[in-house]
Structure 1
Amino acid sequence: MNILFLDIDGVLNSRQWHSSENCKILEITVKRFFDPACVEYLNKIVNETETKVVISSSWRILRSLQNLQDLFKSIGFTGKIFGKTEDLSIFEPDTPNLRGVEIQNWIKDNQKHFKTPIKYVIIDDENEFFSHQEQFFFQTNPDIGLDTTITEKIITFFK
């Protein structure tokens, strides 16, 4: 089972996107927060590797799973948001590698639902993970977001 733990800011948008004319013409809509090119890279990963997406971004905190699915559909994501990690920041705000803990807990809690072991990647622009997770971590540059190089590396990793 392929799982992709997805951050949003710095991954599906970037400083470059936010300063572009294409972003500015969208005014104040949710689409302004998603670079269409980055969304297409995500679609490519999901379509070529049959990967399920789990949101690990702070965007998950105030949104239901259904709301996240609707949001991603509205921006052109062709896959499905499969789940979201639990937010532990309210219970353990000073925990080092907090996102790593949240991902580790999700895998532990959900492995029993799959017939095959979970093979996963983490896409994030910040490294808040354990050393044993580094082999699964693909860091984006927040200036450009998800790009062709990282997309191809992830596809290769899953195949």
Structure 2
Amino acid sequence: MKVIFLDIDGVLNSNFWNDTHQREISDGTLIDEEKVMLLGQLIRNTSAKVILHSGWKFWFDSEVKPLRREAERLISMLEKEGIKVNGVTPDHTTEEIRKSKKFSLVKASEILAWVSQYDNIEKWIVIDDLDLHNEEIRKHQILTDASIGLTVENICEAERLLL
């Protein structure tokens, strides 16, 4: 099995929108269709499964069913490209991390915990705009530029790591 650990903000949208469109980002309307199409291309080319490791994962129940309108919109956009969210990483956050939204402090441990549960993972990548403070993760990470989000170059790099 091939796995893509997917972040949302700074990947499927960009900081280009952040200052003037904060409300639209928080309600999920500014997921960029072009970025979703790029992700769809990657998944079609690699047959990878998508595991959400974004703070957005808190907007889904244990069966990855949306709990909020933003999550419903995200799933709808992904489904248009044939993308299914197959799961989410475990939650290693503390109340302090949730309040400060410093999810990058625990994302690496959450991803590695998920990977350690399965022995049939051939290859995996992490797509995120943040440094996740872990050498093992760094070897697998496609680091997006938060100011532009996912690019064709990111997809080419991801394909090299997954194929």
Return 5+ residue gaps in structure 1 as ranges.
none
- 1:130 is aligned, of 122, 130, 134, to 134
Question: Is 1:13 equivalent to 2:17 in the alignment?
Answer: no
- Offset of 1:77 from its aligned partner? 3.6
Deviation per CA, 1:110-140: give whole Å up to 9, x if none.
x14xxx3341000000011411221101110
Q: Distance in 2 between matches of 1:143 and 1:16?
A: 5
Q: Distance in 1 between matches of 2:39 and 2:103?
A: 29
- The AA in structure 2 aligned to 1:158 is L
Question: Is 1:106 equivalent to 2:110 in the alignment?
Answer: no
Query: Does the aligned pair in 1 maintain the 2:115–2:121 contact within 8 Å?
Result: no
Question: 1:67: which partner in 2?
Answer: 66
Q: Give aligned pairs, total.
A: 151
- Offset of 1:44 from its aligned partner? 0.6
Question: 2:83: which partner in 1?
Answer: 79
Q: What is the TM-score when the length of structure 2 is the normalising length?
A: 0.79
Question: 2:145: which partner in 1?
Answer: 141
Deviation per CA, 1:1-50: give whole Å up to 9, x if none.
10000000000000235689xx8xxx789552300110011101111100
Question: 1:44: which partner in 2?
Answer: 41
Task: Out of 46-55 and 91-100, give the one that drifted further.
Answer: 91-100
Secondary structure of the structure 2 residue equivalent to 1:83 = strand
Note closer, same or farther for the CA distance 1:34–1:99 as it changes in structure 2 (3 Å cut): same
Query: Does the aligned pair in 1 maintain the 2:25–2:31 contact within 8 Å?
Result: no
